[in-house]
Amino acid sequence: MQSLIIGLLTSTLVLLNTVIGMIPLTLMALLKVVIPLPIFRKHCSAAIVLIAESWAEVCKWIFAFTTSTRWDIRGAENLDSSKSYMIISNHQSWVDIPALIQTFNRKIPYFKFFLKKELVWVPLLGLAWWALDYPFMKRYSKAYLKKYPHRKGADFEITKASCEKFKDIPVSLMNFLEGTRFTEEKCHRQSSPYRYLLRPKAGGVAFALQIMGQQVRHVLDVTVVYPEGEIPGFWSLLSGQVSTVIVDVRQLELGEELLQGNYEEDLEFRKLFHRWVATLWQQKDDNIGRLRQELPST
C-alpha cells in the first residue's frame, strides 16, 4: 500500500510538472513556426532549452522528495557546458532516462537524440522535439538505394542539414548503441559475446560523428547498473522500489583517426570503428560485472 501511495504521488507531481512545462514550451515552439527569423528562432531555442532543463530539475526534486532512491554518480566531475559531447550508454529500462537526467542536467548541453524524420508528426511530442532542435534523420535502406541509386547520399545530406543549427553552439548527442533495451532473451537470441550487453550497432554513432565533423570530440561513456541485475520498470522508480542506481561515467576524447573517415564508403575505416566500439563495449561489460558486485541483494 505504501508503494502504491508513493507511486501515485510521484506520478501526479511528474505529470503536473510536465503539463506546466508544456504550456510555455508549446507557446515558444509555435512562435518559432510563425516567426521564422533566424535570430528570433535562436532566442526561442535558448528559452525552450531553459524550460526543458527546469522541467528536468523539478523532476529531480520530486524524486528526492517522494522516494529514497540513492543515485550513486561517479566520474561526472569537471564537465563543461561549453563543450559538445557524444553520450554512449547501455540501455536496460525507461529508468535509464531519469538516471541520465540526474547525472547530466545543467552540467552539459541538454542532450538530444537522433530521431526518425517521421516522428516529427507525433502529436505534441513531435512539436516538442522539433522545438528542442532534436536532429531528425532520414535513412534509406539498401533495397531502396538499389532501386533508386540516384538517392545515394541523400539521407546523409538531409540529416546533415538538420544539424546545421548546432554549427556554432555546444550540443550533447545521446546514443544507445544496442538500439533496444537489454533482456536476457534478446542477449541469448543474438548470441551476444557479452554477459550484460547486447551487440552494439556502430553505424549510428559513426553516422552522427561524420555529420558533426570536428565539433564532437568528447565522449561520455556511461554505464548504468541496477541492484543485483534486477532491471526495474518505470513504475518501480515512481513507487520508491529502486534502492540504488549506479551511474559510472568515463570521459574520453576521440582520436583524429575516428573523426576523418567515411563509415559507409571506406572499408578500412569501418573496421577501425568497429574495433573501437568492440573495445569500448568489452570494457563496459567488464565494468558492469565489477559494479554489480558492489550492490546489495534486493
Q: Is it the case that residue 298 has pLDDT exceeding 50?
A: no
Helix (H, G, I), strand (E, B) or coil at 134: coil
Task: Give the pLDDT of residue 72.
Answer: 94
Task: Give the pLDDT of residue 264.
Answer: 77
Bridge-based pairing of strands 70-74 and 172-176 is unpaired
How far is 55 from 28, CA to CA, in rounded Å?
15
Mean pLDDT of all residues belonging to the chain: 86
Confidence category of residue 297, pLDDT binned at 50, 70, 90:
low
The residue count for the chain = 298
Expressed in percent and rounded to 5, the helix, strand and coil fractions of the chain are 55, 15, 30
How far is 242 from 67, CA to CA, in rounded Å?
9
Residue type at 61?
A: W
* pLDDT tens profile 42-67: 888 889 999 999 999 999 999 999 99
Q: Is it the case that residue 183 has pLDDT exceeding 60?
A: yes
Of 48-62, 129-143, 204-218, 281-295, minimum mean pLDDT range: 129-143
* pLDDT tens profile 64-110: 999 999 999 999 999 999 999 999 999 999 999 999 999 999 999 99
> pTM to 2 decimals?
0.87
Of 69-78, 161-170, 237-246, minimum mean pLDDT range: 161-170
Task: Give the pLDDT of residue 287.
Answer: 94
Mean pLDDT of 223-244: 89
Query: Per-domain residue ranges for the chain?
Result: 1-66, 69-109+170-294
CA angle 33, 37, 42 (to 5 degrees): 85
Q: Is it the case that residue 151 has pLDDT exceeding 70?
A: no
Where helices occur in 67-141 by DSSP H, the ranges are 96-104, 125-131
* pLDDT tens profile 192-212: 999 999 999 888 788 888 877
Of 143-147, 161-165, 167-171, 217-221, minimum mean pLDDT range: 143-147
Task: Give the pLDDT of residue 139.
Answer: 63
Higher local confidence (pLDDT), 167 or 232: 232
Of 25-34, 125-134, 172-181, minimum mean pLDDT range: 125-134
Task: Give the pLDDT of residue 150.
Answer: 62
